[in-house]
């Protein structure tokens, strides 16, 4: 299977080989040798934890540029709901959307309506499927890649419903082509992303042959121009362009909160997600129906490509949600939409185009006897190691290092502690004390 395209790039002039990225990687894709980072492209899930961990700013994300906009006669911006959390409570989403039209985009399309509809589709799916339980959201692309590689047995748990952003992009291209009379290939659809994983999901999507997006801009890159346009008093878009309930998808728990099914769990951050998935593999959480999981802490507002701290962003987004003018009217609209969503679900509008398949990290040896011997050798090598998980060898932990030794990716004497032990206790020459 071909390795996916990746969005994370390294600046060799800044990398000092400090192993912070190596220890942060949840799939153990990174090694550090001779003072430089190397990445197993087939294993990396573009979660961006290495960017978050690097103290030298040696890692960044490859995103779209203004020249990418110039390739299209009509460019549509579809922002993550996290974008609206970046400018403080005094700035409304419709002002931010209006600013997007001032910085180079021809049109704006909001994802919050589709968030609400996908939530209804997931509700319908949960009421009809037979397990295995719990089901896991497919919204976070880094979580999806993590499941494919580190938890392949959990692939059947993933809800096979397309993400709101991809469905919004699909409809946006069609709508823009009809409105402008342009061919569909002259319409560019761009996501405004808070994280690196979205960029990878555009270049190497899961659940579909290709993405409906033509690229993505980071929130951090657009923040300055957008703030300038907002302060200059750019005209806002209509408030009716937004579904305020869908805006909460930028927060951990926002997806679950918009659903009828209350038997769910929301978790965020790599360490917590790994703990929950380990528990599911161990047979726990079977009483739950649904798990909403995000690689980034606090959800999309905690992405690596945002400007505002996630705590301030949460405060801002909660303030926006608190000022929904008429909650009874919003609830009536949601109930009226349910029948429409069920009809679209029956027509398979929300279905992923392709089946999600596992991409396990460790490929089993075709020869069973050889596989057993390799496992025994790995256990033997591990018994020789200090189990300090210091990463001084260039691998994230001793267990990974033992696997690298057995597969001839490195030598056993690359362990610093074994070298020190050998120096302190040199082998005795024959015939001498």
Where among 59, 75, 93 does a domain terminate? 59
- The rounded distance, in Å, linking the Cα atoms of 145 and 135 is 16
For residues 53 and 32, state if they share a domain: yes
Question: What residues of the chain score a pLDDT lower than 50?
Answer: 1, 325, 431, 433
What's the pLDDT at 369?
A: 80
Residue 273 belongs to a domain: no
CA atoms within 13 A on the CB side of 432: 5
**pTM, 2 dp:** 0.90
Query: Which single residue is written with the structure tokens 């089946």?
Result: 355
Do the domain assignments include residue 140? no
Q: What is the pLDDT of residue 36?
A: 86
**How many domains, the chain?**
3
306: domain CATH number is: 3.40.50
Q: Is residue 138 part of a domain?
A: no
**Considering the domain boundaries, does residue 275 fall inside one?**
no
3-state secondary structure (DSSP) of residue 145: helix
Q: Are residues 253 and 303 in the same domain?
A: yes
Place of tokens 């290939």: 185
Using N-to-C axis directions, what is the helix angle for 141-150 and 270-281, rounded to 10°? 40
186 and 44 in one domain? no
Q: Looking at the structure, do residues 188 and 48 belong to the same domain, yes or no?
A: no
Nearest to 304 by CA among 5, 1, 7, 4: 7
- Residue 34's CATH number: 3.30.70.20
**Quick check: 53 and 69 in contact, CB under 8 A?**
no
Pairing of the two strands 290-294 and 264-268: parallel
pLDDT of res. 422: 80
Query: 167 with 248, same domain?
Result: yes
Task: Check residue 244 and give its pLDDT.
Answer: 75
Q: Is residue 387 part of a domain?
A: yes
Separation between Cα atoms, residue 431 and residue 433, nearest integer Å: 7
- Whether 279 is covered by a domain: the verdict is no
Give the end of a domain, one of 25, 40, 59: 59
- And the tokens for 190? 């761009």
Tell me the pLDDT of the chain averaged across its residues: 91
Same domain, 230 and 334: yes
Q: What is the DSSP letter of 259?
A: S
Please report, for the domain that includes residue 411, its CATH number. Answer: 1.10.15.40
Contacting residues for 218 by C-beta, under 8 A, at least 6 apart: 61, 63, 192, 193, 194, 305
Residues 12 and 120 in one domain: no
Instruction: Choose among 24, 26, 83: nearest CA to 51.
Output: 24
Q: Is the peptide bond before 134 cis (omega within 30 degrees of 0)?
A: yes
Residues 174 and 49 occupy one common structural domain:
no
Query: Which value, in Å, is the radius of gyration of the alpha carbons in the chain?
Result: 24
* pLDDT for position 178: 96
Residue 332 and residue 210 in one domain: yes
> How many other CB atoms are there within 10 angstroms of residue 130's CB atom?
5
Structure-block tokens of residue 14: 């800044």
The per-residue pLDDT for range 324-361, each reduced to its tens digit, is 645 555 555 566 678 889 999 999 999 999 999 998 76
Please say whether the beta carbons of 244 and 81 come within 8 A. Answer: no
> In terms of domains, do 187 and 247 share one?
yes
Question: For residue 132, is the peptide bond before it cis, meaning its omega torsion is within 30 degrees of 0?
Answer: yes
Q: Which residues of 380-397 are buried (b: 16+ CB within 10 A; e: fewer)?
A: ebbeebeeeebbebbbbb
- Is residue 432 included in any domain, yes or no? no
Same domain, 171 and 82: yes
Q: Could you tell me which residues come within 8 angstroms of residue 50 by beta carbon, excluding any fewer than 6 positions away?
A: 8, 21, 24, 25, 30, 59
Q: Is 127 helix (H, G, I), strand (E, B) or coil?
A: helix
Asked if residue 403 is part of any domain, the answer here is yes
* pLDDT value, residue 433: 47
Largest alpha-carbon pair distance within the chain? 93
Output the pLDDT for position 20: 95
In this structure, are 83 and 163 located in the same domain? yes
Q: Which domain holds residue 38?
A: 8-59
């Amino acid at each position: 299977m071909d390795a996916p395209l990746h969005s994370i790039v390294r600046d060799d002039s800044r990398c000092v080989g400090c192993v912070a990225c190596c220890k942060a990687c949840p799939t153990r894709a990174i090694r550090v040798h001779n003072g430089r980072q190397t990445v197993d492209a087939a294993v990396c899930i573009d979660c961006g934890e290495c960017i978050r961990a690097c103290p030298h700013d040696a890692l960044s994300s490859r995103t779209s540029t203004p020249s990418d906009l110039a390739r299209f006669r009509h460019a549509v911006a579809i922002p993550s709901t996290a974008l609206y959390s970046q400018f403080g409570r005094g700035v409304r989403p419709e002002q931010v959307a209006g600013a997007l039209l001032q910085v180079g985009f021809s049109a704006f399309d909001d994802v919050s309506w589709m968030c609400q509809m996908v939530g209804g589709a997931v509700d319908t799916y949960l009421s009809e499927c037979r397990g295995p339980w719990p089901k896991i959201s497919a919204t976070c692309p880094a979580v999806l890649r993590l499941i494919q590689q580190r938890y392949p047995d959990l692939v059947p748990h993933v809800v096979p419903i397309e993400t709101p952003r991809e469905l919004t992009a699909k409809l946006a291209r069609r709508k823009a082509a009809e409105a402008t009379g342009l061919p569909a290939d002259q319409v560019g659809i761009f996501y405004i992303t808070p994280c690196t994983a979205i960029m990878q999901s555009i270049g190497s999507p899961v659940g579909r042959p290709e993405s409906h997006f033509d690229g993505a801009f980071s929130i951090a890159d657009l923040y300055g121009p957008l703030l300038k346009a907002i302060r200059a008093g750019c005209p806002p878009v209509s408030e009716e362009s937004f579904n305020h309930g869908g805006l909460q998808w930028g927060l951990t728990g926002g997806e679950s909160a918009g659903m009828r099914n209350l038997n769910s769990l929301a978790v965020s951050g790599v360490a917590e997600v790994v703990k929950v998935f380990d528990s599911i593999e161990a047979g726990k959480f079977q009483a739950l129906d649904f798990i909403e999981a995000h690689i980034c802490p606090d959800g999309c507002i905690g992405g690596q490509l945002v400007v505002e701290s996630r705590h301030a962003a949460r405060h801002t987004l909660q303030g926006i949600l608190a000022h929904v003018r008429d909650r009874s009217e919003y609830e009536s609209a949601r109930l009226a939409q349910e029948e429409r969503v069920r009809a679209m679900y029956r027509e398979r509008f929300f279905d992923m185009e392709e089946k999600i398949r596992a991409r396990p990290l460790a490929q089993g040896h075709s020869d069973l006897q050889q596989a057993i011997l390799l496992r025994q050798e790995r256990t033997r090598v591990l018994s020789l190691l200090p189990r300090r998980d210091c990463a001084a060898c260039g691998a994230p932990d001793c267990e990974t290092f033992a696997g690298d030794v057995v597969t001839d990716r490195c030598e056993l004497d690359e362990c610093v502690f074994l070298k020190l032990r050998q120096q302190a206790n040199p082998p005795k020459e024959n015939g001498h004390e």
